[in-house]
Amino acid sequence: MAAEHVDVATAEQMWRAGDTVIDVRSAQEYAEGHIAGALNVPIDTLPNGADDLPDGQILTACSMGGRAARAAAILGAAGRTAFVISGGTKAWQAAGLPVVTGPQAR
Check residue 93 and give left, alpha or beta (phi > 0: left; psi -120 to 50: alpha): alpha
Q: What are phi and psi of 79, to 5 degrees?
A: 90, 10
Report the catalytic residues: 62
Taking the C-alpha atoms of residue 63 and residue 20, their distance in angstroms, rounded to an integer, is 17
